[in-house]
Amino acid sequence: MSVSAGRRFLLRLLTLLRSRRAEDNLAREIDAHLQLLADKFMAQGMTAGEARRAALRSFGNVAHHKDLTRDMWTFPSLDSIRQDIRYALRTLRRSPGFSVVAIGVLALGIAGNTAMFSLLDAVRLRALPYPDAEQLVVLWGNVMRTKLERRGASYPDFLDWRAQATTFDGMAAGDETRMTLSGRGDASRILVETVSASYFPLLRATPAIGRTFDANEDVVPEKIAVVVLSDAFWRRELGGDPQIVSQPLVLDARPYTVIGIMPPGFRGVGDRADAWIPFVMSNSAQGLAQRGSRGFQVLARLKSGMSRPQAQAEMDAISRRLEQAYPETNEKRGVEVAPLDEELLGEFRPALRALMIAVAFVLLIACANVANLLLARSEARQREIAVRTAMGAGWPRLLRQLVTESCVFTGIAAALGVGLAAVGLGLLLRTSPVTFPSFVHPHVDVRTASFTIALSFIVGTLLGLAPAMHSRVARLSDALKESARGSVGRRARFVRSALVMSEVSLAVLLLVGAALMIRTVQQLVAVDPGFDPDRVLTARVSIPRSASDPSSTGAAPLVVSARTLLDRVRALPGVTGASLVSDPPLSGLDSAVFYTAEGQGVSSAQTMPRAYVHRALPDFFTTMGIPIRYGRTFLDSELAPASGVVIASEQVVTRFWPGQDPIGKRIKLGPLASTNPWLTIVGVVREVKYRGLPENPTADPDLYFPFIDRSQQVSLVIRTATNPVGLIGSVRQVIREVDPGIPVFGVFTMSERIADQTAQSRFTTWVLAAFAAIALVLSAIGIYGVMSYLVAQRTREVGIRIALGATRRQIVRLIVGRGTLLVGSGIVAGAAASIALQGVMSRLLFQVSILDGATIAAIGVLAATGVLACYVPALRAARVDPLVALRAE
């Protein structure tokens, strides 16, 4: 027996770790032994020198025997495991084809699981970039209407919550707005979070330079214009100049003193802030005093040891007190305490969980395939195993060897799989239409690799057990007899058939899942948004006010009229129509109002009609392709502040005046008692998916008011003759020509905005389809393998049949029939299981049922693939030469 260099090295290492005592003991024992031998030789008459040499001769190479003895010192189990590993590697080398297929299939499955686990791990709770993130919650001001709806908070409510609540460590108001940065080259729009002073300590965020807001800057009437900058913005726009602190920065034509710079990576809860200003700067003192004006988020941190239900109970009590104190504004108003991580990452989780389950299925299929290969091989090894048993290898020892063997190659597969996962994950993220938050970095690391290692050992053990269970039945006498195949063979066939059936069932589940997702995406894309999104470009502009006379009360005039910009854009070649609107569809800029329809009586907080309002030029509807159902669009003469006209969407009519002519009916904003003027409906347009696809978040209708050329924030909607992307440059150009101080931003084609709405479903579909394709291929390989095995086993039988006059066609039918039975029963089981799928996937699906044509087609594809996989072995069987077959044994 030769000791390999590597093993010798390992032994040396182990020896180092052991006490010197064993080593000394051994030397002493061998010395004594040699002495005794020498004594004997001297007694026979040799000289001391001769006796010593003779003793050494008869003892043998001392160093070599010491080596072999040291071998025995290692923990016995460790030692034999090493032996098993060596043996396993040898077995793998002996059948390279088997090894490559088995390792390849497993590596694929493990890679998929590692990649998906990395994704899921990246959106776990601890992904939030804040210390003790599990204590962070968002407080939503909920309202009970026909169903519970989430709203923001109002400033007076927020102050009461903060004063009365005891379960929180801190509470901060926060909102997001865009502001124009000027005075430094071209004006640009930046994203600003308006936040309470407590916001930064709450998130445990400290500035890299300077300070954040103090309590003085958080008080309502004392408006102190200060700003904290994000690291990225500071480097991008200000060249990373630390001297900027205490210097002014002009935002929305007002100087703000820079007081601090946040560290890199801190982008605020919204994950995209360029800067932060005090919350009280976001509105006038009067605006902040309105308890009924709700719209911002409240961030809070639970006191350590406080649970969310405790906080919820306290907030419920506070809301009830506020409801009694201010019934006017707080009727049916509650507070929802929602975990922050769910708010930020929750949207990704259901899809990733579903994908994780899917990829686990893929791994199971891969395992079934490899188990089948192992089973086939273990049959070839029956005799070897039986002989080993006879030679005294115990049952546990054999089991351990089989498990070690399969662990060795799952180990190799895992190593390959981790590499594959790292590459695949990168590829997946690059091609993904879903953008993850900036602090989410899915990658393969120690955590995910340890997941993989654990996984591969579980898989290895299970795979090792399969052939072991089956060897157990083998009896020595049977195995040593050349032709004893009866009972063992039948049992093995059953196990293998069962494996293939489960493979097929799992593949059915995956294919049906993929088919459901594909149909979902088709349905989503086919959703009629209510307008025509093709060849439409939208762009937002923010027109600055001229800073000529800062002392005068009231707003200064705009530097240019939005109509002027529109005229320039209309004149561009390739533009077939253009219009102005306060907010384009799917832009997320909605604002809602309550209104009252004439003659409808008083309504409660739950039923008070609410609508989303937009201001538009007369040609907005034709430009966007929104059909007018009744009446007309605005007249140019109505584009004035108190024109008293409104255009409503169809729902207003169906709710209040069904079957009547709506033109000339009147509504007013606010409750019936309000002093707002009555507005006459001059037109009714089609209901539009203005705020979300496939459905608006709430079913409220839209109200359109005449566009007044006074607003700073305007959106251009431009219909073009060709691909609108080509016009983006020239639109920016003409606006810059009018005034370089007008920032153009939020430039999207309508198709892009729609694609954004379906991004996550498309991502899920894409990945799931890839998994399903792998599953299909793997199960085809599995079916093929089992049928080939079957044919090989039945060669003699087939030979006899042919000899007795069976035609080739009959033989093919026999084999394919058996395969079809296998595939068929797998499909039936899988189809039954996929009925449960619809429930599991319900959050991901849109308007599809399990009985969709696509799912049936998916099952058909699998059935066809399965039968095809049976055909090749069947044809091989049909070519059996009866003479050869009968001679074979």
Interface with another protein (CB under 8 A): 1, 25-26, 28-30, 32-33, 35-37, 39, 58-62, 64-66, 68-69, 71-73, 76, 390-392, 480
Least distance to another protein, CB of residue 419, Å:
40
Q: How far apart are CA 217 and CA 196, in angstroms?
A: 9
Least distance to another protein, CB of residue 69, Å:
4
What is the SS3 assignment for 722?
coil
Report in angstroms the alpha-carbon separations of 866 from 515, 771, 786.
18, 17, 11
Least distance to another protein, CB of residue 92, Å:
23
Sign, CA torsion 381/383/387/390 = positive
Q: Which is nearer to another protein, 44 or 246 (CB)?
A: 44
Q: Which is nearer to another protein, 390 or 458 (CB)?
A: 390
Report in angstroms the alpha-carbon separations of 162 from 133, 194, 196, 333, 819.
20, 17, 12, 16, 70
Sign, CA torsion 854/860/864/867 = positive
Q: Which is nearer to another protein, 32 or 285 (CB)?
A: 32
Least distance to another protein, CB of residue 59, Å:
5
Cα 252–Cα 257–Cα 260 angle in degrees, nearest 5: 115
Q: Which helix (H) or strand (E) element contains residue 335?
A: strand 333-339
Q: How far apart are CA 361 and CA 770, in angstroms?
A: 13
Least distance to another protein, CB of residue 33, Å:
5
Q: How far apart are CA 761 and CA 784, in angstroms?
A: 34
Q: How far apart are CA 723 and CA 574, in angstroms?
A: 9
Least distance to another protein, CB of residue 55, Å:
9
Q: Which is nearer to another protein, 68 or 640 (CB)?
A: 68
Report in angstroms the alpha-carbon separations of 189 from 208, 250, 541, 544, 558.
24, 12, 9, 11, 17
Least distance to another protein, CB of residue 77, Å:
11
Given a contact cutoff of 8 angstroms between Cβ atoms, the answer to whether 196 and 280 are in contact is no
Q: Which is nearer to another protein, 76 or 221 (CB)?
A: 76
Q: Which is nearer to another protein, 71 or 598 (CB)?
A: 71
What is the SS3 assignment for 115?
helix
Cα 514–Cα 520–Cα 524 angle in degrees, nearest 5: 150
Q: How far apart are CA 467 and CA 462, in angstroms?
A: 10
Least distance to another protein, CB of residue 475, Å:
12
Q: Which is nearer to another protein, 37 or 128 (CB)?
A: 37
Least distance to another protein, CB of residue 74, Å:
10
Q: Which is nearer to another protein, 69 or 807 (CB)?
A: 69
Amino acid at 676: N
Given a contact cutoff of 8 angstroms between Cβ atoms, the answer to whether 578 and 718 are in contact is yes
Least distance to another protein, CB of residue 35, Å:
6
Q: Which is nearer to another protein, 395 or 678 (CB)?
A: 395
The two tokens of residue 623 are 């430009």
- Beta strands (DSSP E) in 213-272 are 226-229, 248-251, 254-261
Q: Which is nearer to another protein, 62 or 613 (CB)?
A: 62
Burial (CB count <10 Å: 0-12, 13-18, 19+), residue 50: middle
Q: Which is nearer to another protein, 18 or 320 (CB)?
A: 18
Q: How far apart are CA 715 and CA 67, in angstroms?
A: 84
Least distance to another protein, CB of residue 763, Å:
57
Place of tokens 């909607």: 717
- Count CB atoms within 10 A of the CB of residue 601: 7
Contacts of 630 (CB under 8 A, 6+ apart): 653, 661, 662, 663, 683, 684
Q: Which is nearer to another protein, 71 or 149 (CB)?
A: 71
- Angle at which helix 349-380 crosses helix 96-122, to 10 degrees, equals 160
Q: Which is nearer to another protein, 61 or 450 (CB)?
A: 61
Least distance to another protein, CB of residue 1, Å:
7
What is the SS3 assignment for 338?
strand
Burial (CB count <10 Å: 0-12, 13-18, 19+), residue 201: middle
Given a contact cutoff of 8 angstroms between Cβ atoms, the answer to whether 167 and 303 are in contact is yes
The residues facing 250 across adjacent strands are 182, 255
- Count CB atoms within 10 A of the CB of residue 400: 19
Least distance to another protein, CB of residue 7, Å:
15
Least distance to another protein, CB of residue 821, Å:
41
DSSP 553: S
Given a contact cutoff of 8 angstroms between Cβ atoms, the answer to whether 334 and 131 are in contact is no
Q: Which is nearer to another protein, 32 or 454 (CB)?
A: 32
Q: Which is nearer to another protein, 435 or 477 (CB)?
A: 477
Least distance to another protein, CB of residue 485, Å:
19
Q: Which is nearer to another protein, 62 or 868 (CB)?
A: 62
Q: Which is nearer to another protein, 2 or 243 (CB)?
A: 2
Least distance to another protein, CB of residue 5, Å:
20
- Count CB atoms within 10 A of the CB of residue 27: 12
Report in angstroms the alpha-carbon separations of 518 from 522, 693, 762, 769.
6, 17, 8, 8
The residues facing 260 across adjacent strands are 210, 228
Least distance to another protein, CB of residue 801, Å:
33
